[in-house]
Amino acid sequence: MKFKLTLFILLMSCFTLVVNAQQNKPVTTIPFEMVHGSIVLKVKLNNHNRVFKLLFDTGADGMALEKTLADSIGLKITRSNNASVVGGSMKIDISGDNDVTMENGFVLKHQPIAVFPQTGKDLDGIIGNTMTRSYITQIDFNKKELSLYNFEGYEYEKGGTVVPVTIPSGVFIIPGNVEIVAGKSSTGNFVFDTGASYNLICFRPFVKQNRLLVSGFTSEYPASTVSMGIASPTFNGKASSFSFTNMPVIKEMPVTLMAGGGQNENWSPGFDGSIGMGIISRYNFTINRKKNEIYFMPNHTYVYPQSFTLGSYLLGFNLNGQLEIISSIRQLPPNETQLEKGTLITQINGTNTADLLKNTKKLEQLKKLPANSPLTFSYTVGDTKKDITLTK
């Protein structure tokens, strides 16, 4: 009898594994590229052969294409609408009832596409939360795959964290807590935004209300954020900490604070900022719109150092563990070579950047060098190895 009971339990366990495997079988799996830290999908529209590169942007509720590109394939405008973008709002045209074919042949039918004068991205357009309305949407940064699943019967893999979200206007909102200075806490609601390259941006109304720019914040460099052609000035530095629902506290994290000026001074977005790819890309994540939650699973980059400023640049480690130029942070002297965004740095002051990734103490030593210390960046252009010497 004991033998029969053990056999029954074993058979039931095997049955459960088979059922779970069938439940979690994807409807489709779509490859993606990482371009300057962003998720990029290749698509075709309607019956045209042209391939468009679209940013997967959960900070947008739908799809958008630049006007010149929309005109080039004869996209038909069916209506107009007002759209909220970072820093303000604008009137846009919309083309309805389009077929969007992914790189693997999977088709999203009858999709509306917003047409903007410019998207403000180095790509052809964006694809927002369109897929999440119909499918559980999973991003795996290890495999660089986007998988779609049916809502019924889906089960998360073990080891992750469920974060509840609200969806008041087609985007996912997560409560969070930011401390610019330790002990001075500001609580807000933040968009889960894969279209944003930063770690965290606090929008102008939230910054103004909580006096974040004058509460002990030290700006490392000024910049601007651009959304659909609207530019907003920002200041960039460090927050003592940031946390959001159920997730570990992040210490000494890069933060972007939106300054005043233009439309954003009277802008009322309905939320307080955005959580960007600097945080998001450290996790494989699953969006489950039916349950109003996002499931976070740490991936191989979870332990990588935060992005940092050195010399005239903001740098960070990409998914492959390579140190990459994220952006230039100040105007360079006329005689200094400009390193382009995406340039891979192989050495700093003779230390291999692979060693800096493994030994963060070496990286901290570089960051703590006195002002005006020389910094020699080694990098490769094509097959040619080059050096550039900067000052900290």
Mean pLDDT of the chain: 88
For residue 293, name the pLDDT band (cuts at 50, 70, 90): very high
Of 86-95, 155-164, 179-188, 206-215, least confident by mean pLDDT is 86-95
Q: How far is it, in rounded angstroms, from Cα 322 to Cα 59?
A: 27
Would you list the DSSP string of 59-125?
TSSSEEEEHHHHHHTTPPP-EEEEEEETTEEEEEEEEEEEEEEETTS-EEEEEEEEEES--SSSSSE
Per-residue confidence (pLDDT) for residue 260, from 0 to 100: 81
Q: Does the pLDDT of residue 249 top 80, yes or no?
A: yes
Fold of 28-149: Cathepsin D, subunit A; domain 1 (2.40.70)
Q: Where in the chain is the domain with CATH 2.40.70.10?
A: 28-149, 161-298
Share of the chain above pLDDT 90, in %: 74
Separation CA 216–CA 178 (nearest Å): 13
Look up the CATH number of domain 161-298.
Answer: 2.40.70.10
Q: Look up the pTM and report it.
A: 0.88
What token pair was written down for 232? Answer: 């907003």
Question: Which range is least confidently modeled, 45-49, 50-54, 65-69, 382-386?
Answer: 382-386
Question: Architecture of domain 308-391 in CATH?
Answer: Roll (2.30)
- Alpha-carbon distance of 317 to 358, in angstroms, equals 11
Q: Where in the chain is the domain with CATH 2.30.42.10?
A: 308-391
Residue 123 Cα to chain centre, angstroms: 15
Phi and psi angles of residue 319, each rounded to the nearest 5 degrees, phi first: -60, -25
pLDDT: which is higher, 338 or 165: 165
Tell me the average pLDDT across 311-323.
93
Number of H helices, E strands in the chain: 6, 28
Per residue in 235-246, pLDDT (tens digit) is 999 999 999 999
What number is the average pLDDT over the span 279-300? 97
pLDDT 10s digits, 322-361:
999 999 998 777 777 889 999 999 999 999 999 999 998 9
Residue 157 phi/psi, 5-degree rounding, is: -70, 155
